[in-house]
Structures are given as C-alpha cells and as structure tokens.
Amino acid sequence: MLYWTLVFLVVALVAGLFGFGGIASTAAGIAKILFAVFLVLFLVSLVFGVIRGA
C-alpha cells in the first residue's frame, strides 16, 4: 500500500512538472488518501502488537 502511495506521489510530481494540473491534483489526492489509510493500518497494527505482547 505504501508503494502505491509513493507511485501516485511521483505521478503527481511529474504531472505537475509538465503542467497537467488536473492530473497532478487527482494523483496527489489519491496519494494523500492512501497515505492516511496506510497510517491508520499501521497504528491499528501497532496497538494490537502491544496488546498481544502484554
């Protein structure tokens, strides 16, 4: 999932560099959403790991 976040971030940067504003903003939005999902899954995994370890 983090891989796809980075892919969409790179797509957004390249599209922004070449002046494709709509594509860049869409790819950046997708990257932000995927990053948020990844962060939530990481935190849930961390909490379950601490609970299981105790």
Task: Read off the pLDDT of residues 4-42 as tens digits, 9 standing for 90 and up.
Answer: 778 888 888 888 888 877 878 888 888 888 889 888 988
Residue 1 banded pLDDT, cuts 50, 70, 90? low
pLDDT at 44: 92
pLDDT at 31: 85
Give the contacts of 11 (CB within 8 A, at least 6 positions apart). 23, 27
pLDDT at 47: 92
Q: Is the per-residue pLDDT at 48 higher than 80?
A: yes
